[in-house]
Amino acid sequence: MLPSEINLSPIFSGDNSFRFFVAVKKRFCYNAIQFKERSQIFVRSLEGQDVQKEATPLAKKVIHTTINGEAHTHEVEPRMLLIHYIRDVVGLTGSHIGCETSLCGACTVSVNGQAVKSCTMLAVQADGAEITTIEGLAQNGDLHPIQEGFWERHGLQCGFCTPGMIMAAHQLLARNSNPTEEEIRHGLEGNLCRCTGYQHIVEAVQYAAGKMQG
Amino acid sequence: MIPGSFEYFAPTALDEALSLLQEHGDDAKVLAGGHSLIPTMKLRLAEPAVIIDIGGIGSLKGISESDGNLVIGALTTHHELESSDLVQQKVPLLAETAAEIGDVQVRNKGTIGGSLAHADPAADWPATILALDADLQITGPNGERTVKATDFFQGLYETDLGDDEILTAIHVSIPDANTKGTYLKLHQVASGFALTGVAVVLTKSGDTCQSVAVGITGVSEAPYRASGVESGLTGSALSAENIAAAAERAVDGITALEDIHASEAYRQNLAKVYTRRAIEAAAS
């Protein structure tokens, strides 16, 4: 595929237009061309021609994860994103898919204690990892203090961003148990709320910090 | 948005990763934290046939002190640099720069080596690495070599790194007590990338500028050292007038980028203003 054949307009109306466009031109096109050619050879080989010549089966990979304390083993395509693995394979749909461009934070989960945007990580990169999702925070039916804070301080309207907000707040409070208002806002900068509920979200995290300190 | 298919390897040793790179050549891309490569693959702008995930290579992680240098493994995350006591104590400019990158989740996963090797023209690390005159350690089929940061960045997404090589570590010489650093950045609001980012490393002798290094990112196709500013200020008194006059030379010989976020003239102006402010902060 040559650059001129790529329909850029639907994708490139956003922020990263310049960067990604030049990325195509300068660096990545060559790989894309090569890979398309290989794919075509592969299709032909499926039709019975020259099967021996095609030597690259795109194997699935077995991964082991522990999600919210429960062990899982699955065979996944290497290209599967962690968020799709969590939602579609494991069936935990609390983590949301928002922007899919690493900006909104709705898909935030904890991987080995680090909050990550699971739309920007491959499931195979999480092989062997301990993952916590929003479903793993409540214990024995009792809401986690952060969840309780969102309830008590009206930290949500539509609720779409909430799982990611709570997981980001969870990371924040793990690193800083008594954050200032500014530190809370800074700590949640990777999460977007489109109901303009930030003030209540900050108050929810303050509530949780107070409660967690006892 | 789902990446195209690829074959996946997760070597646990550097040698293994290098032989995979040799075997697959141009078909392969190296995956570190994935925060530049995976978004590009999701948009299908990159469709590498092979991914070599070096995330499991322990020898590429961690920060240590050796012979007056900080040695930073390429897989060290932005968060690790931001929160490291050793970094904050020895080269606080590195921690200050790390804290300006993306957001918490991005800093948890993105790596300094990945960022430098990707060489986005608006990335933060290049400015600081240039100003600190760092050495980049690279390993390839013929062994190790070291390249100066000033020789590493060659153009838009273009570096000195060969297709069969891996950036393994960054060596930063620990500055003396008279040397101060600053990184000052104007964030593009939505993406967090630098519309302009200026890193300054300044050594004072009394009120005089003994030496100054200025690294600028976000302004041009490749990050650069503002040599006009450096020569204009070295040996001069650090007065407001001298600093302002030197900062006027921030885009000497440079073609500024132009895109939907900033015109060429605006970027040129930003570079001058942020250079002045960064020098003032380092001199104070």
| A116-175 pLDDT, tens digit each | 999 999 999 999 999 999 999 999 999 999 999 999 999 999 999 999 999 999 999 999
Domain C-terminal end among B143, B173, B203: B173
Is any Cβ of chain B less than 8 angstroms from the Cβ of A166?
Answer: no
The Cα of B114 is separated from the nearest Cα of chain A by a number of Å equal to 14
**Measured distance CA(B46)–CA(B237) in Å, rounded:** 50
Using only C-alpha atoms, chain A has a radius of gyration, in whole angstroms, of 21
Percent of chain A exceeding pLDDT 70 equals 73
Alpha-helical runs (H) found in A17-161: 17-23, 29-46, 82-84, 145-152
Average per-residue pLDDT in chain B?
Answer: 97
Q: Does the residue B108 lie in any domain?
A: yes
**Is B263 contained in some domain?**
yes
- Cα A161 to chain centroid distance, Å, stands at 13
Report the C-alpha gap between B133 and B148 in whole angstroms: 7
CATH number at residue B120: 3.30.465.10
The answer to whether residues B160 and B213 belong to one domain is: no
Measured CA to CA, the distance from residue A82 to residue A107 in angstroms comes to 9
Judging contacts by C-beta atoms under 8 Å, the chain A residues touching residue B46 are 23, 27-28, 31-32
What confidence tens digit (pLDDT) does each residue in B93-105 have? Answer: 999 999 999 999 9
Per-residue model confidence (pLDDT) at position A23: 47
At A57, the pLDDT band (50, 70, 90 cuts) reads low
* One domain for residues B158 and B75: yes
Which among A107, A111, A69, A67 is positioned nearest to A90, based on CA atoms? Answer: A67
Report phi then psi at A58, rounded to 5: -90, 90
Q: How near does any CA of chain A get to the CA of B28, in Å?
A: 8
pTM of the complete model: 0.89
A32 touches chain B (CB under 8 A): yes
Find the largest Cα–Cα distance for chain B.
60
In chain B, residues with a C-beta closer than 8 Å to the C-beta of A38 are 49
Using CA coordinates, name the residue in chain B closest to A107: B105
Which structural domain, as residue segments, surrounds residue B154?
60-173
Nearest Cα neighbor of B165 from B10, B54, B41 is B54
Are B87 and B150 part of one and the same domain?
yes
Average pLDDT over residues A192-196: 91
Within B206-276, strands assigned E span 208-217, 224-225
B2 within a domain of the structure (yes/no): no
pLDDT > 70 fraction of chain B, expressed in percent and rounded = 100
In chain B, the number of structural domains is 3
Burial of B244 (0-12, 13-18, 19+ CB in 10 A): middle
Based on the fold, state whether residues B157 and B138 are members of the same structural domain. yes
In a domain, B26, yes or no: yes
Do B47 and B64 fall into the same domain?
Answer: no
Weakest mean pLDDT among A42-56, A191-205, B243-257: A42-56
- pLDDT (average), residues B79-105: 98
- Which single residue is written with the structure tokens 């693959």? B41
In the predicted structure, residue B238 carries a pLDDT above the cut 70: yes
Q: Domain with B263 in it: what CATH number?
A: 3.30.390.50
Q: How far apart are CA A99 and CA B147, in angstroms?
A: 38
What is the Cα–Cα distance from B205 to B181, expressed in whole angstroms?
15
User: What pLDDT is attached to residue A98?
Assistant: 96
Residue A22 clears pLDDT 50, i.e. is over it: no
The CATH number for B36's domain is 3.30.43.10
B70 and B161 fall within a common domain: yes
Return the bridge partners of A142, or none: A139
ipTM score of the complex? Answer: 0.94
Asked whether residue B49 falls in the same domain as residue B100, the answer is no
Residues from chain B contacting residue A11 (CB–CB below 8 Å)? 43
Contacts of B257 in chain A (CB under 8 A): 18
DSSP 8-class letter at B102: S
**B1 falls within a domain:** no
Alpha helices in B145-213 (DSSP H): 149-152
